[in-house]
Amino acid sequence: MSEKILMKGNEALAEAAIRAGCIRFFGYPITPQTELAAYMAKRLPKIEGGVYLQAESEVSAINMVLGSAASGARAMTSSSSPGISLKAEGISYIAGSDLPCLIVNVQRAGPGLGGIQPSQADYWVSTRGVGHGGARLLVFAPNSVQEVIDLVFDAFELAEKYRIPAMILSDGLLGQMMEPVVFPDRAPVLLEKPWAANGHRDKRNKNIINSLYLQASELEEKVRQRELRYREIEEKHSKASEYMMDDAEYAVVSYGATSRVAGSAIDAAREKGIRVGLIRPVTLWPFPSKQIFEKSKNLKGILAVEMSSGQMVDDVRLAVNGNCPVNFFGRTGGIIPTPMEILSEIEKMSKGDIK
């Protein structure tokens, strides 16, 4: 069991989902996500109760997830940025119906069809709910293939506990790279779902899954109930990891694949005597605001690094709340920032070049 094997991020995510009890996958091919769906196509039909279905479009796939989740099954879909835009309506309906599911976004560059190289330009849309109506998604941002596996279990379990959709926000780099992984001996926690519309057999009242409420007062109450769950999630489930932060005067804040590159830059900066560390949000919603706020009290500056023109940096500034200056560095269009570029930004910051 404990033998390390090499797996692509996309394939490891698929295998982890199966081990986490996912029995329904609905998808539509898109680069750089396709290995995930291909893996599911091979494996899921061999699992008891397993269904893999390639829908005719992303819109169909997300609505199949809605139906499957409504029946109480652990269901998921995966896509890449343009496909996630197509799923936005369905994601809002899933959130409005208080259904748990997993949505994977292996991000590529945008906007529009954009390109097929890695990107993190879907931060805003992911952390603000994807669809209309002010809903939230749990958003997880792994930075290694091993962490992909661990977070898939967390994503399904928290989604079901709080009855909200969860997203793994991956990217083309993390999806395509192979790293050694070990699958943990972790049995999925499967909760009772007394709300599931799976046939009442004349033994109970019927369950109705719905997101339409024409009485404003009734809908406001629904939204308030959901908000209470959101507050509890923010209180209990935000997560960030730290590297070299004990004596740090400066910090880089970076998530996902970019945080790997940032880590290399921090090692190089440390060799030059710059006391810099890394704060890496593992959950993007809820954002680890408290942890960043506390750390920022003792910092001279923060550098946010992303594969975008600057999106997460908004949440960093809100979290820091003026405690220290916040700089930004990013590459877009599918370009991955290099350790040298990030190092040079850290050096600038440490010499007082702060915006």
Helix residue spans in the chain (DSSP H): 9-19, 34-43, 58-70, 81-96, 123-127, 145-162, 172-176, 216-236, 256-271, 289-296, 312-320, 339-350
Q: Is the CB of 68 or the CB of 144 nearer to another protein?
A: 144
> Does 339 engage in binding with another protein (CB under 8 A)?
yes
> Does 251 engage in binding with another protein (CB under 8 A)?
no
Size, binding site for another protein by CB under 8 A: 24
- Listed ranges 156-164, 172-180, 183-191, 204-212: which one lies at the site for another protein (CB under 8 A): 172-180
Cα separations in angstroms, 32 against 11, 37, 256: 12, 11, 16
> Does 277 engage in binding with another protein (CB under 8 A)?
no
Nearest to 308 by CA among 283, 328, 338: 328
* Smallest separation, CB 43 to another protein (Å): 16
β-strands 101-107, 75-79 pairing = parallel
Q: Is the CB of 89 or the CB of 341 nearer to another protein?
A: 341
251 touches 303 (CB < 8 A): yes
Q: Can you tell me which of 41, 197, 336, 354 binds another protein, judged by CB under 8 A?
A: 336
- Listed ranges 47-55, 187-195, 259-267, 346-354: which one lies at the site for another protein (CB under 8 A): 259-267
* Phi and psi torsions of 173, nearest 5°: -70, -50
> Does 114 engage in binding with another protein (CB under 8 A)?
no
Contact track, another protein, 65-104, x by CB under 8 A: ----------------------------------------
Residue 59 burial class via C-beta count within 10 angstroms: exposed 0-12, middle 13-18, buried 19 and up:
middle
Cα 91–Cα 8–Cα 146 angle in degrees, nearest 5? 80
Region 16-35 residues binding another protein, contact defined as CB under 8 A: 31-32
Q: Is the CB of 3 or the CB of 192 nearer to another protein?
A: 3
Q: Can you tell me which of 38, 59, 116, 219 binds another protein, judged by CB under 8 A?
A: 116
> Does 261 engage in binding with another protein (CB under 8 A)?
yes
Cα 77–Cα 82–Cα 83 angle in degrees, nearest 5? 25
Q: Is the CB of 223 or the CB of 336 nearer to another protein?
A: 336
3-class SS of residue 80:
coil
Dist CA 59 CA 57 (whole Å) = 5
Residues that bind another protein (CB under 8 A): 4-6, 31-32, 116-117, 172-173, 176-180, 260-261, 263-265, 267, 336, 338-340
